Amino acid sequence: MFRVKPVLIVLALVLLAYTSADAFHAEILPAEINPGDAFLVKVTGSPGEPLAVSDNGRLYFENCGDSCYIAVGAVDVRTEPGVYEIVVSNGENKKRLELHVRHIEFPVRRLTLPEDKVTLSSENLKRVEKEKARLSLIWGKVSDRLWDGKFIMPLENSISAGFGIKRIMNRKKESIHRGIDIRGKNGEAVKAANTGRVVLAEELFFGGNTVIIDHGQGIYTVYMHLSKFNVTYGEIVSKGDIIGFVGSTGRATGPHLHFGVKVTAVNVNPVSFTRLPF
């Protein structure tokens, strides 16, 4: 009589276990977004850290429990509407996820600002270029994760200028608003949106007194036009800590907080970001 050797049965079971462990589940949350929104890629049942690639490059995964991995992604505000592919792989296994980007008409707003903040002198132009170069060095760095759970709004007031609006300044210069303006009184406390390290706390030409927090995993939050700082460079802050106070320094028409979020160097809508189901 034919008999299967026990060693073969064990081998077959090991192979079966390996194959089923390798079949992971991956999804995009939410699967339909506006240009400039953030999204999550959640992978479960993955035996090791997966790899995900979008049109913008690699996504950075973090462990979220037993064989669970989560990554934050974003699309630029100028992204054309359509379906974009995100490929998640784990060894031999590959999953193609669809990210739907809606068509949105962002509103246009006309603003009047001090002329020297719109048409720059050669000296100011040099300063702005220098600041831009410094900031792009900051966005390029991906540190270890310090953030924990949902991000909060730094100031709980209404929004006076939303993300993505096209601003026409002094009837000549156009710029897309890549953050949100939150109403606030001079001196009102501004909180850290999550735990992170202060990587900038100084006066910039457009941003005025600006704080930038590095939360790790390529996520940064930006707080502009502050009247006063309450943190210094290098400091670790916890979610909800007071980092500064509302003001109107830099290119501002009055006291308010400009709040920005960067995800792997892409400006994302902070409202979409704080709603992500972490």
Q: Which residues bind Zn ion (CB under 5 A)?
A: 181, 258
Longest Cα pair distance anywhere in the chain, in angstroms?
96
How is the beta sheet containing 68-74 ordered, strand by strand?
A: 25-29, 38-44, 68-74, 61-63
Residue whose CB is less far from Zn ion, 215 or 258: 258
Q: Contact 101/79 with Cβ under 8 angstroms?
A: yes
User: Least distance from C-beta 203 to Zn ion, angstroms?
Assistant: 16
Residue nearest to Zn ion (CB): 258
Residues facing residue 89 across a β-bridge? 51, 94
Nearer to Zn ion, 44 or 248 (CB): 248
Least distance CB 208 / Zn ion (angstroms): 11
- Six-digit token string for 40: 């999550």
Of the two residues 61 and 259, which places its CB atom closer to Zn ion in the complex? 259
In the bound complex, what is the minimum distance in angstroms from residue 117's beta carbon to Zn ion?
A: 13
**Beta-sheet pairing, 173-176 with 108-111:** unpaired
Cis peptide before 30 (omega within 30 of 0): yes
Please report how close the Cβ of residue 41 comes to Zn ion at its closest, in angstroms.
29
Give min distance, CB of 258 to Zn ion, in A: 3
Least distance (Å) between residue 251 CB and Zn ion:
9
Nearer to Zn ion, 70 or 155 (CB): 155
Q: For tokens 């995800």, name the residue.
A: 263
**Residue 177 tokens, joined:** 């608003």
Question: How far does Cα 14 stand from its chain's mean position?
Answer: 41
Secondary structure of the chain: what % helix, strand, coil (to 5)?
A: 15, 40, 40
Phi, psi at 275, each rounded to 5°: -95, -5
Nearer to Zn ion, 26 or 222 (CB): 222
- Which residue lies nearer to Zn ion by CB, 45 or 162? 162
- Shorter beta-carbon distance to Zn ion: residue 42 or 258: 258
Q: Is 32 strand, coil or helix?
A: strand
Least spacing, CB of residue 165 vs Zn ion, in Å: 9
Contact 250, 209 (CB under 8 A): yes
